[in-house]
Structure 1
Amino acid sequence: MYVRSSGERGERPVLLLHGGGVAGWMWEPTTEHLPAGLRLIVPDLPGHDRSSEERYVSHDHVATELAAVIEREAERPVAVVGFSLGAQLAVLLAANRPDLVDRVAVVSAQATPTKAPGLTLGLLGATAPLAKLQWFAKLQAKALFIPAPLMDDYLRTSARISRETLVTTVGENIRFTEPPAWASFPGSALILAGEGERGFMKKSARLLNESLPGSELEIVGGCGHGIPLQRPDWFAQRLWNWLASES
């Protein structure tokens, strides 16, 4: 798995997990607004961009790979920040490896399974080749709130993604439910969803919040499914305040 790290090893480690169909570059608008003093660990998840040659096997498999990344790149437990697909992985890491994760920010994680997933995946498999067409990718980029400076990165990532990766990641995403150990995660948890997101996404955020006593829920105004790209300055400040609140 391709991993880009910045900052000194002794600084506060933060693992940033991107959503499906994008890659680590999606965090650039956020990291530009973060102050110095953080150890940022930013992977391209399997099947995406610089990790496109690595097969996305399952959420559980990728979470195990990410645990190895944390052990290699950080000298102490990390704060994990995940968006969409990455947010589901963040929940898994926090639930299953609290020895490696002491804080988790869950941004727009679906946690209520989609009905009739087979129909969704069948349609996705049939239309997957469109992702490699630039005109179609540009339409998708608009829906994902990709800013103009990152358009080339998105087009490159979209061209590299395979049908297998699309079907596997979306299948994992739409079937995801919170792991049992989520309810006993001992660290700090911040759960965000956009005010303009579909109802099941906001319902998912509330379920994750209700399942974990002491977690914090915020529905973010002026955003759909794209908080880190729609309001990167606000999002960076929110993360920094959350990290600075550590006891």
Structure 2
Amino acid sequence: MFLASHGPRDAPPVLLLHGGGVAGWMWDSLKERLRTDYAVLIPDLPGHGRSADEPYVSHAATVDELARMLAEAAPGRPATVVGFSLGAQLAIQLASEHPDFVAQVIVVSAQAEPLPLTGLTLAMLSASAPLARKRWFARLQARQLFIPPHLMEDYITTSTGITKATLLAAVGANLRFTLPGTWPAFPGRALVLAGRRERRLMRDSARAIHGALPGSELEIVDDSGHGIPLQRPVWFTDRVAELLRRG
């Protein structure tokens, strides 16, 4: 898995996990804000961006690789983990299964209730997969994630480079995700975010994630859809920086 590192190597580590269909470039604004004071670690998840030649297999395999990555990049220094959408599910699973590596977690727009008829959804996705390689289709999808103009070419390159196998594996894992049984025992701090304009499922998921972890914080963000870090980059960057200062 490709990993980009920014900032002082011995500073407190911050691990940024992107969503499905995008890559580490989605964190450019946050990276620039944090890189002076933190060791910012930004992987391209399997099947995405500069890890496109490594197919996405499962959440479990990806989390194990992320844990190994933290052990090598920041030994003995638990990280703040920020995850969006697919990356937010991975952040929850990483914190639940490897709490020694995670000091606190920011969960942004994570689905935590499995959808019914997942098989049918994946069959429809499989049939339409060739569209993902079309620039015009990628531009339509970009609107749903609030991709800004200066990142549009990065998005199109990433989106059109995702294989059908990775698409089905990542989306399937996303749709079937449930909270790990060890999530309520995570000892670190957690902030759970969802946009008020997201689907009700996403807001309900945010409440379920918060409700399952005593002491966590929940914030439903006004005027935001599914794409808070890209839709409201200044607000989001300030919010993350604030949590890091408190920590």
| TM-score tier (shorter) | over 0.9
Instruction: Give the aligned partner of residue 71 of structure 2.
Output: 71
Instruction: Give the aligned partner of residue 4 of structure 1.
Output: 4
CA deviation map 1:92-128 (0-9, x unaligned): 0000101111100000000000110011100000001
Instruction: Give the aligned partner of residue 201 of structure 1.
Output: 202
Rounded to whole Å, the distance in 2 between the matches of 1:235 and 1:78 is 19
TM-score when scaled to structure 1?
0.98
CA deviation map 1:124-181 (0-9, x unaligned): 0000110110111111111111001101101110121000111110000010000000
Aligned residue pair count? 246
Rounded to whole Å, the distance in 1 between the matches of 2:189 and 2:206 is 15
Question: Matched residue of 1:32: which SS?
Answer: helix
Question: Matched residue of 2:112: which SS?
Answer: coil
CA deviation map 1:61-88 (0-9, x unaligned): 0000000111111131101000000000
C-alpha contact 1:193 1:220 (8 A) present in aligned 2: yes
Q: State the one-letter code of the partner of 2:14.
A: V
TM-score when scaled to structure 2?
0.98
Offset at 1:189?
Answer: 0.4
C-alpha contact 1:197 1:224 (8 A) present in aligned 2: yes
| Mapping 1:167-186, distance limit 5 Å | 167-186=168-187
Rounded to whole Å, the distance in 1 between the matches of 2:35 and 2:165 is 38
Question: Matched residue of 1:10: which SS?
Answer: coil
Offset at 1:195?
Answer: 0.6
Q: State the one-letter code of the partner of 2:57.
A: V
Rounded to whole Å, the distance in 2 between the matches of 1:114 and 1:150 is 31
Instruction: Give the aligned partner of residue 53 of structure 1.
Output: 53
Is 1:39 the equivalent of 2:35? no
Gaps of 5+ in 1: none
Offset at 1:31?
Answer: 2.5
Instruction: Give the aligned partner of residue 111 of structure 1.
Output: 112
Rounded to whole Å, the distance in 2 between the matches of 1:208 and 1:110 is 9
Question: Matched residue of 1:180: which SS?
Answer: coil
Rounded to whole Å, the distance in 1 between the matches of 2:64 and 2:157 is 27
C-alpha contact 1:34 1:237 (8 A) present in aligned 2: no
Q: Report % sequence identity.
A: 56
RMSD, aligned α-carbons: 0.9
Instruction: Give the aligned partner of residue 29 of structure 1.
Output: 29
Rounded to whole Å, the distance in 1 between the matches of 2:130 and 2:49 is 16
C-alpha contact 1:194 1:222 (8 A) present in aligned 2: yes
Question: Matched residue of 2:68: which SS?
Answer: helix
Offset at 1:32?
Answer: 3.2
C-alpha contact 2:8 2:35 (8 A) present in aligned 1: no
Rounded to whole Å, the distance in 2 between the matches of 1:217 and 1:143 is 23
